[in-house]
Amino acid sequence: MFEPHDDAETCLVPALSILRSWKQTSCHPIDQEVIVMAGKPVLYYYNARGKMESIRWLLAAAGEEFEEKFMKTREDLEKLRNDGVLMFQQAPMVEIDGMKLVQSRAILNYIANKHHLYGKDIKERALIDMYAEGVADLNEMIIIYPFGPPEGKDASLAQIKDKAKTRYFPAFEKVLKSHGQDYLVGNRLSKVDILLVELLYNVEEIDPTIITSFPLLQALKTRISSLPTVKKFLQPGSQRKPPVSEESVAEGKRIFF
């Protein structure tokens, strides 16, 4: 996996046990995939779905156990900001492999790369990213819907249903139909399969009839849900968060708004 520099004369190699099996000591360019593990990832957010839920899904699907530290007050958020761990003053934040990562898409991409859920080449990664952006578009509407003004909620909900039925679900159904494979990209599991299935569950909670018009999406949902790691995550008592409630909306507003 690691190729030594031919012109390297001297170097310092960390005394990690994983390196003791190397036949020769060598230096490596900074862009090589040398990851220093530092225990379980720690997720910093409040005790609700929001923008952290996709990260929970992906970690769980990858089989990587994680811990959570919940913000309960505005002061908890301000403390993280004052401590300088939120680069852009925003959550979610994930402490993983010695890093403090913010921006949910960056976090998802790191997890996908780490667990080989990001395609085999740049073309597959481009497709995965494109599809994932479509998933995020609709999922973002679902995330912010409960926080909107009461007078606009009916219209927002109708828009979510319409976009699911006429724009996003047909597009993903077409992809699966076009190649006849089990997964969206490269006939292998990737982050976008996980994120899409999370979205399918979210839409199903809003209107369970929508997915019935899309048999290939139904099959994908069943297939992904049957994976041992995902099946475990879907069980009661897991770190998956329940649907949004008035209480969780009120808590989110107290912390972030």
**Virtual torsion, Cα 52, 162, 133, 237, nearest 10 deg:** 30
Q: Where are the domains of the chain?
A: 42-115+235-256, 122-225
* pLDDT single digits (tens) 137-187: 999 999 999 999 999 999 999 999 999 999 999 999 999 999 999 999 999
Average pLDDT value over all residues in the chain? 89
pLDDT at residue 245, rounded to an integer: 96
122-225 shares the fold of 42-115+235-256: no
Start-to-end CA distance of the chain, whole Å, equals: 46
CA-to-CA distance for 249 and 147, rounded, in angstroms? Answer: 7
Q: What is the CATH number of domain 42-115+235-256?
A: 3.40.30.10
The answer, yes or no, to whether residue 23 has pLDDT greater than 90, is: no
Residue 188: closest CA among 224, 137, 226, 219 = 224
CA-to-CA distance for 6 and 26, rounded, in angstroms? Answer: 9
* pLDDT single digits (tens) 98-138: 999 999 999 999 999 999 999 999 999 999 999 999 999 99
CB 196 within 8 A of CB 135: yes
Q: Which helix (H) or strand (E) holds 231?
A: helix 228-233
pLDDT at residue 34, rounded to an integer: 41
- Global pTM value: 0.85
For residue 9, what are the β-bridge partners?
none
1.20.1050.10, 3.40.190.10, 3.40.50.300, 1.20.58.1610: CATH of 122-225:
1.20.1050.10
Residue 199: closest CA among 157, 162, 164, 147 = 164
pLDDT band at 38 (very low <50, low <70, confident <90, very high): low
